[in-house]
Every structure is written in structure tokens, then in C-alpha cells.
Amino acid sequence: MRLFLSTAGKMFGLIIFFLICLNSCKNNDASTEKYPNYIGYLDPETTISDINFEICGDEDIKGTHHGLPKHAYKPNKGVFDKTIRATYRNKGYTDSGYLNFRFIVNCRGETGRYEIVQMNLGLEETTLSEDMVNQLFQLTADKENWNGYRSKKSGINYYMYVSYKIEDGEISEILP
């Protein structure tokens, strides 16, 4: 009987502790004041978009900050990879590094709110050839590459990212 009361008391204490933690997390407005957006948010004021790009519905964007790579590509990742490699032209580029695009795909398969990060092979920020970056940006942004999704109630927006590993001006990998 004593063991039962001891165990029941510990369980009751854990439940009370959990409820207090849950309540303090809900009522913590200081974090939303300091950090009004969620991790991975792409701010329309600081990212690159076509002037006509609009997300569908409200600001709800699926796929957390990293995207929906299994479902995003039209028709699939293999076709995307082949299309990019067949269309990309090395115009004498000698750059090596990573070119990373993170963006939103709206319900119509249009892309916008691009964040572009350029790094050397040591993963330090750098500047790659502007013409190469622009060429890969145009190829990545092509609407023919991305699936748009709609639910019964509204359109679905989602995050996506594409990283190109470049070695001596040639694409050696396309991630994810």
C-alpha cells in the first residue's frame, strides 16, 4: 500500500509539473514579441519574388522550413535533375561551392520569396559568379518544375529548397 501511495504521489506531481510547464509556454508572449515569426520564415520584404507572386490563402505554409521534397517536383526529382543538367550551360565559370535556394511554392506551382545563400566548399559565405547564379535561379524558378496543390477548402503553399554543389563551374550534385 505504501508503494502504491508513493508511486501515485510521484505521478500526481509529474502531472502538475507538466500542466504548469504547458501553461507557461502558452502564456509566454515575450518570445513572440522578440521573435514574431517561426523558424524558417521567408519575409516577403527581404526575399526575391516576381512582383505578381502571391501565396494562396493565408500565411499557412506547409513543410516546415525545409520543404516537401518527395512531393514538390513535377513530375519527380529525377526529371528535375535531368532537366537542370541538360539546360545549364557553363559559360567559362570556374567557381566551386554551394548555391542554395530556399523559397515558397504556391498552390499554382509558382515560386517566390527566394533566399539565396552562396558558400565555398568550406561552407563559408562567398560570392559566386553572378551570371551563373542568375542562370541557376532562372532554371530553378521555372514553373514547369513545381507541383501546385489545393485542398477542398483552399490552396496549399509549401517551402522548398534546392542546393547545387558546383565544382569548377559544373554542377556535381543537386540536393535534396
pTM of this structure:
0.70
Q: Using alpha carbons, list the distances in angstroms from residue 120 to 9, 48, 85, 106, 126.
A: 57, 22, 21, 31, 6
* Closest residue by Cα to residue 67 from 94, 49, 40: 40
Quote the pLDDT of residue 53.
82
Q: Which residues contact 45 (CB under 8 A, 6 or more apart)?
A: none
Cell of 54: 502571391
Quote the pLDDT of residue 54.
83
Residue 104 near residue 159, CB atoms below 8 Å: yes
Residue 114 near residue 102, CB atoms below 8 Å: yes
Q: What is the tens place of the pLDDT at every residue in 66-108?
A: 555 566 788 888 999 999 999 999 999 999 999 999 888 888 8
Rounded mean pLDDT, 49-71? 68
Domain ranges of the chain: 1-36, 39-175
Q: What is the tens place of the pLDDT at every residue in 127-168?
A: 999 999 999 999 999 988 888 877 767 778 888 889 999 999
Q: Exposure pattern of 91-112 as b/e (b: 16+ CB <10 Å)?
A: eebebbbbbbbbbbbbbbbbbb
Burial of 57 (0-12, 13-18, 19+ CB in 10 A): middle
In 18-121, the DSSP E strands lie at 61-62, 97-105, 111-119
